Structure 1
Amino acid sequence: MSDGTETQPTPTYRRVMLKISGEALMGDQGFGLHPPTVERIAKEVKKCHDLGVEICMVIGGGNIFRGLQGSAQGMERTTADYMGMLATVMNALGMQSALEAQGVHSRVITAIRMDEVAEPYIRRRAVRHLEKKRVCIFAAGTGNPYFTTDTAATLRANEMNCEAIFKGTKVDGVYDKDPVKFDDAVRYEDITYDDVLQKHLGVMDASAIALARDNDLPIIVFSLDEPGGFETILAGDGTYTIVHG
């Protein structure tokens, strides 16, 4: 007989990287930050944090500025990429504010020094924050142009000794083709790094997939739009695709 108390899921990972796109923060707007959406994601992160999971985050900047699109419109690529990095800092600060409103201590850590608004990236200090159960939000990519936030997330996940990368998207896994456009798209339960690269499935860019493969770091792709999705997937339940060796 149930005593009416809700059983908390048991997470299968102790330290993880959550990678989300900047577009995930704009809700149904076409641009910028949508505060209710940012708050909803912060609540999802809090649920997992409350289970004792140490959480790193990397957020893209495509809701504000995307370097590749800027360079395609005639802007010099390096300048466009640096503008994109600054956009990720804005998103990181927005997420930090939402997390701390939920009572979750966090740190924004940037690959480009801007000491008045965030900490510079120092690996040992970042690890210490995680050990103290602070959420670490890594911003400004790798600090270098020509690298995406996918690559930055994989790099930081390796440096922080994360056990997996959780990539939150608008769909519940990796499909053989776009499920929004094709009704007969088939979802993979699991797939290898090499198959992702060979089939050009667009889970992450090739550099990120190769870096994850070389360090045997699994990538779990799930829907960020599914309420409670992150917490459920952390416990090994729900619908997702795992990319592994």
Structure 2
Amino acid sequence: MPEPEKVVYKRVMLKISGEALMGDQGYGLHPPTVERIAREVQSVQEMGVEICMVIGGGNIFRGLQGSAQGMERTTADYMGMLATVMNALAMQAALEGLKIHTRVISAITMNEVAEPYIRRRAVRHLEKKRICIFAAGTGNPYFTTDTAATLRASEMACEAIFKGTKVDGVYDKDPNKHDDAKRYETITYDEVLAQHLGVMDASAIALARENSLPIIVFSLDEPGGFRAILDGTGTSTTVVA
């Protein structure tokens, strides 16, 4: 078996949106896209990196959107959490199709489809080189999957959060609308909050800041993008103190 490559981070959290799984469709899951992302994750695991994942549920149901349409917010948020479990199971199936041992760990108890969240057990899975996909957010309404990813990353002693998006970093304005948009190499947590740059929600940024957890924003649409950041050749923005 080849020696693992030298990488900056040994244990990371990959946070992606539910929309990332729907490909060019307007909703739902696009199996070829799910498989492509699974292969990206596989390429990083082969470097010897331990990987946690959190996937949003916006491709199926978004709690805030349901709330805006008159649904009671708590109910809408729980429905959103269940959507994240569906996405986690889809990603698990794709990863296990690549012969990668994977565990879906849910903050809401549903023993027939996922393990309950027990921190020590999850850490042990990571030590055994299994990929842990944390589903159902924090298990509480009013918290986003961004906050859940930051919380789990802190609990698992991850060294960084990798936020996969459609652009290769954080810009001062939308690069799809403005040709003169400037990408930051690094930016502070406080600058992200002050400028409302939308990297993650405010509570997630604050939690990352309190735990000195860097957030690395990169393009998940770029083939090999996840691996390239870890081997030092990719383009990204790092959010730090």
The 2-side partners of 1:20 and 1:213 are apart by 20
The one-letter amino acid paired with 1:93 is L
Match of 1:116 in 2: 112
**Are residues 1:244 and 2:240 paired?**
yes
Match of 2:127 in 1: 131
Q: Partner of 1:242: helix, strand, or coil?
A: strand
Match of 2:18 in 1: 22
The 1-side partners of 2:18 and 2:177 are apart by 22
- Note the alpha carbon deviations across 1:91-119, whole angstroms, 9 max, x for none: 00000000000111000000000000000
User: Could you tell which deviates more after superposition, 235-244 or 130-139?
Assistant: 235-244
Q: Partner of 2:71: helix, strand, or coil?
A: coil
Match of 1:47 in 2: 43
Superposed counterparts of 1:1-245, under 5 Å: 10-245=6-241
Q: Partner of 2:138: helix, strand, or coil?
A: coil
Q: 1:9–1:232: 8 Å Cα contact kept in structure 2?
A: no
Moved over 2 A (4+): 7-10
Q: 2:102–2:131: 8 Å Cα contact kept in structure 1?
A: yes
1:237 deviates by 2.0
- Note the alpha carbon deviations across 1:126-150, whole angstroms, 9 max, x for none: 0000000000000000000000000
Q: Partner of 2:126: helix, strand, or coil?
A: helix
Q: Tell me how large the CA RMSD over aligned residues is.
A: 1.2
The 1-side partners of 2:231 and 2:87 are apart by 27
Q: Partner of 1:236: helix, strand, or coil?
A: coil
The one-letter amino acid paired with 1:14 is K
The 2-side partners of 1:10 and 1:28 are apart by 35
1:9 deviates by 5.2
The one-letter amino acid paired with 1:73 is Q
1:182 deviates by 1.3
Q: Using the aligned pairs only, state the percent identity.
A: 81
Per the normalisation by structure 2, the TM-score is 0.98
The one-letter amino acid paired with 2:139 is G
1:8 deviates by 7.8
What are the ranges of 5 or more consecutive residues in structure 2 without an aligned counterpart? none
Q: 1:108–1:118: 8 Å Cα contact kept in structure 2?
A: yes
Q: Partner of 1:175: helix, strand, or coil?
A: coil
The 1-side partners of 2:232 and 2:86 are apart by 32
The 1-side partners of 2:24 and 2:5 are apart by 30
Q: 1:23–1:63: 8 Å Cα contact kept in structure 2?
A: yes
The 2-side partners of 1:193 and 1:239 are apart by 19
Q: Partner of 1:55: helix, strand, or coil?
A: strand
- Note the alpha carbon deviations across 1:53-89, whole angstroms, 9 max, x for none: 0000000000000000000000000000000000000
1:183 deviates by 1.4
The one-letter amino acid paired with 1:228 is G
The 2-side partners of 1:27 and 1:123 are apart by 32
The 2-side partners of 1:185 and 1:68 are apart by 29
1:235 deviates by 1.6
The 2-side partners of 1:158 and 1:174 are apart by 22
